[in-house]
């Protein structure tokens, strides 16, 4: 029986609750779409009732103490085994992800996103085993010792539509950060790729079972209504929520969760401004237009780091650059959008930009079916126009769309920067000419405080999984600019509480805080010195 047949023999797909795939309790169902045809896929998924959520919460509560006393080695072994199983099933997973999202198999899913997901899992397993992430801080004189540890409640993950693998609620950075720090996880699949999520959750359950972790450490539901969502994130058994998705939905969940005292990590919106300084544009505006287009159209413009706003000066090189941009944006789309919702939002964004007075220089239209497609779209407006209404012109929209802000001079460029909301990234393209260096010195300090990651001569779409990476930024880019959702082990800290031990004798301390370094590799801050030695 092949995958397709197996999925279809079950009337409504089961949810992963309490260590088993079981029939959901539901009163409604939904189906995913094939974005290339615009048609529904045959499998039917449940919109769970509260009783499913209640069971997930109750079970996660039982897993809290069990996971907290599970050794990092055991958790790491689980993560690595899960990565092995995913690798062994790569083709099935990629095929399903392609079917549900229309993201190209090559190079996107097979050569980029899948390896990224596996790499992230393996890095997390290594960091979990090494234990340095917990930042053991020891005052030997006062016998006070602290480290990060689990939160004491479940972590609920809402994952986005645009990365069905590397940000999937059951296999992405949020998931692995929460479990590596010893917290049980309740995952909400994105309704755009429920089948992909189910395939991966099956392997996850196998890995949980084989590695002897509590089976309720990870549970997965496909969907539930908004009211139940608010109730879930404010439940006393929940400690934290990670949400990546639309600003509107995110803010409502944020309010409900925070009102109940929960940690809420949200990635909400970002236009990722790119500033092109005049010196550089004089040197090579043509290449740069192509580079921008490549970044902007990556994944059909459905990256949270998509450059959605570009700013440059209205001089000869700038006007030339704008013509080059117009040229590269005047080409047919190479891919599909993820869903009808993305398409509708993009249409609305185009209308809103037009109404607000931006000039449409390329694209702007839905392409006739089948499938969800939209022309690459370029808008332009003056700096003065932008500054009249900065909120509207910096509204995030998925799709190959960017807004060019053509400013009169460097001073106006800095004003535009000052009018920006918090963003994940901000890029400055510049040469080493005196002119650019001078503008850089004025622009950078403003941009620095508005963004999480500041780039030079580089597009923002690549987000390397490095300990030095920061994927976060001031509100509304995220809810807390001190935390990152990408980069191991920094991303772990979102799901950690600081555990202090005061006057606790050696034999009752966790291994990380005893005199002997538990593995000889863990870094600890002992009396003000970072060391891997015993003390």
- In the window 427-466, what residues touch a copy of itself (CB under 8 A)? 440, 444-446, 448-450, 452-458, 464, 466
When asked if residue 479 is in the footprint of a copy of itself (CB under 8 A), the reply is yes
Task: Choose one: 171-179, 276-284, 295-303, 488-496; the region binding a copy of itself (CB under 8 A).
Answer: 488-496
Q: Name the one residue in this structure whose structure tokens are 């088993």.
A: 20
Minimum CB–partner distance for residue 247 and a copy of itself (Å): 11
When asked if residue 384 is in the footprint of a copy of itself (CB under 8 A), the reply is no
Q: Which of 475, 516, 533, 535 binds a copy of itself (CB under 8 A)?
A: 475
Q: Which of 480, 511, 514, 519 binds a copy of itself (CB under 8 A)?
A: 480
Cα separation, 533 vs 437, whole angstroms = 45
At 204, which helix (H) or strand (E)? helix 194-211
Cα separation, 451 vs 187, whole angstroms = 29
Q: Which of 42, 65, 290, 370 binds a copy of itself (CB under 8 A)?
A: 65
184 close to 214: Cβ distance less than 8 angstroms = yes
Q: Which of 101, 483, 518, 522 binds a copy of itself (CB under 8 A)?
A: 483
Q: Name the one residue in this structure whose structure tokens are 């106006």.
A: 412
Per-residue x/- mask for a copy of itself, residues 402 to 431, rule CB under 8 A?
-----------------------x------
Q: Is 187 a catalytic residue?
A: no
Cα separation, 247 vs 398, whole angstroms = 12
Minimum CB–partner distance for residue 344 and a copy of itself (Å): 26
Q: Is 304 a catalytic residue?
A: yes
Minimum CB–partner distance for residue 305 and a copy of itself (Å): 11
At 405, which helix (H) or strand (E)? strand 401-407
Per-residue x/- mask for a copy of itself, residues 14 to 53, rule CB under 8 A?
----------------------------------------
Cα separation, 110 vs 104, whole angstroms = 9
Question: Given 267, 291, 412, 421, which residue is catalytic?
Answer: 267
User: What's the Cα-to-Cα distance from 443 to each of 391, 393, 410, 430, 469, rounded to whole Å?
Assistant: 20, 20, 8, 11, 22
Minimum CB–partner distance for residue 64 and a copy of itself (Å): 7
Minimum CB–partner distance for residue 474 and a copy of itself (Å): 6
Q: Which of 90, 225, 497, 514 binds a copy of itself (CB under 8 A)?
A: 497
265 close to 242: Cβ distance less than 8 angstroms = yes
Cα separation, 118 vs 123, whole angstroms = 9
Q: Are strands 309-313 and 359-362 parallel, antiparallel or unpaired?
A: unpaired
Question: Given 128, 134, 187, 304, which residue is catalytic?
Answer: 304
400 close to 297: Cβ distance less than 8 angstroms = yes
CB-hemisphere CA count at 13 Å for 324? 18
CB nearer to a copy of itself: give 341 or 493.
Answer: 493
CB nearer to a copy of itself: give 226 or 334.
Answer: 226
CB nearer to a copy of itself: give 207 or 232.
Answer: 232
When asked if residue 148 is in the footprint of a copy of itself (CB under 8 A), the reply is yes
Minimum CB–partner distance for residue 124 and a copy of itself (Å): 14
When asked if residue 514 is in the footprint of a copy of itself (CB under 8 A), the reply is no
Q: Which of 87, 493, 511, 514 binds a copy of itself (CB under 8 A)?
A: 493
CB nearer to a copy of itself: give 190 or 453.
Answer: 453
At 392, which helix (H) or strand (E)? helix 390-393
Interface size with a copy of itself, residues (CB under 8 A) = 75
When asked if residue 62 is in the footprint of a copy of itself (CB under 8 A), the reply is no
Q: Name the one residue in this structure whose structure tokens are 């996103």.
A: 113
Minimum CB–partner distance for residue 9 and a copy of itself (Å): 43
**Can you read off the two tokens belonging to residue 379?**
């808008």
Question: Which residues in the 222-241 window bind a copy of itself by CB under 8 A?
Answer: 239
Question: Which residues in the 259-288 window bind a copy of itself by CB under 8 A?
Answer: 259, 261-263
Residue 6: CB atoms within 10 Å:
9
Omega of the bond leading into 476 within 30 degrees of 0 (cis): yes
CB nearer to a copy of itself: give 7 or 264.
Answer: 264
176 close to 79: Cβ distance less than 8 angstroms = yes
CB nearer to a copy of itself: give 135 or 169.
Answer: 135
397 close to 349: Cβ distance less than 8 angstroms = yes
Cα separation, 180 vs 128, whole angstroms = 6
DSSP string computed for 315-367:
SHHHHHHHHHHHHHHSS--SS--S-HHHHHHHHHHHHHHHHHTPEEEE---BP
Q: Cite the active site residues.
A: 267, 304
């Amino acid at each position: 029986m092949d995958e397709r047949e197996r999925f279809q023999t079950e009337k409504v797909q089961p949810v992963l609750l309490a260590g088993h795939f079981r029939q959901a309790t539901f009163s409604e169902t939904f189906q995913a779409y094939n974005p290339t045809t615009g048609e529904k896929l045959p499998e039917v998924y449940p919109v769970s009732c509260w009783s499913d959520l209640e069971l997930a919460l109750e079970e996660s509560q039982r897993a809290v103490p069990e996971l907290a006393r599970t050794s990092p080695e055991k958790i790491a072994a689980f993560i690595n085994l899960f990565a092995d199983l995913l690798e062994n099933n790569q083709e099935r997973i990629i095929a399903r992800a392609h079917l549900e999202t229309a993201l190209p198999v090559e190079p996107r899913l097979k050569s980029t996103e899948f390896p990224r997901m596996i790499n992230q899992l393996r890095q997390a397993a290594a960091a979990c085993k090494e234990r340095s992430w917990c930042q053991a801080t020891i005052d030997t004189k006062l016998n006070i010792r602290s480290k990060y540890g689990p939160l004491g409640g479940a972590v609920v993950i809402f994952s986005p539509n645009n990365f069905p693998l590397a940000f999937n609620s059951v296999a992405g950075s949020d998931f692995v950060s929460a479990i590596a720090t010893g917290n049980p996880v309740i995952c909400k699949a994105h309704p755009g790729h429920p089948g992909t999520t189910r395939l991966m959750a099956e392997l996850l359950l196998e890995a949980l079972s084989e590695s002897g972790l509590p089976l309720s450490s990870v549970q997965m539901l496909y969907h539930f209504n908004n009211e139940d969502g608010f109730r879930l994130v404010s439940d006393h058994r929940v400690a934290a929520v990670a949400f990546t998705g639309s600003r509107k939905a995110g803010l409502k969940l944020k309010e409900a969760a925070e009102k109940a005292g929960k940690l809420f990590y949200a990635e909400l919106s970002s236009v990722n401004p790119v500033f092109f300084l005049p010196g550089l544009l004089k040197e090579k505006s043509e290449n740069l237009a192509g580079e921008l287009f490549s970044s902007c159209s990556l994944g059909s413009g459905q990256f949270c780091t998509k450059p959605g706003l570009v700013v440059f000066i209205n001089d000869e090189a700038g006007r030339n650059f704008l013509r080059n941009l117009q040229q590269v944006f005047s080409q047919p789309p190479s891919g599909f959008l993820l869903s009808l919702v993305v398409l509708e939002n993009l249409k609305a964004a185009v209308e809103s930009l037009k109404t607000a007075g931006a000039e449409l220089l390329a694209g702007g239209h839905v392409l006739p079916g089948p499938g969800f497609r939209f022309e690459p779209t370029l808008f332009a407006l003056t700096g003065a126009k932008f500054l009249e209404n900065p909120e509207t012109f910096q509204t995030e929209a998925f799709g190959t769309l960017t807004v060019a802000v053509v400013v009169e001079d460097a001073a106006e460029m800095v004003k535009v920067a000052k009018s920006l909301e918090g963003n994940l990234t901000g890029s400055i393209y510049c040469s080493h000419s005196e002119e650019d260096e001078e503008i850089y010195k004025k622009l950078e300090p403003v941009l620095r405080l508005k963004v999480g990651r500041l780039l030079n001569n580089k597009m923002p779409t690549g987000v390397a999984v490095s300990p030095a990476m920061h994927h976060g930024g001031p509100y509304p880019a995220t809810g807390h600019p001190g935390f990152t959702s990408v980069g191991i082990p920094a991303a772990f800290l979102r799901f950690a509480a600081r555990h202090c031990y005061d006057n606790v004798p050696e034999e009752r301390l966790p291994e990380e805080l005893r005199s002997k370094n538990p593995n000889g590799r863990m870094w600890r801050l002992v009396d003000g010195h970072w060391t891997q030695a015993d003390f």
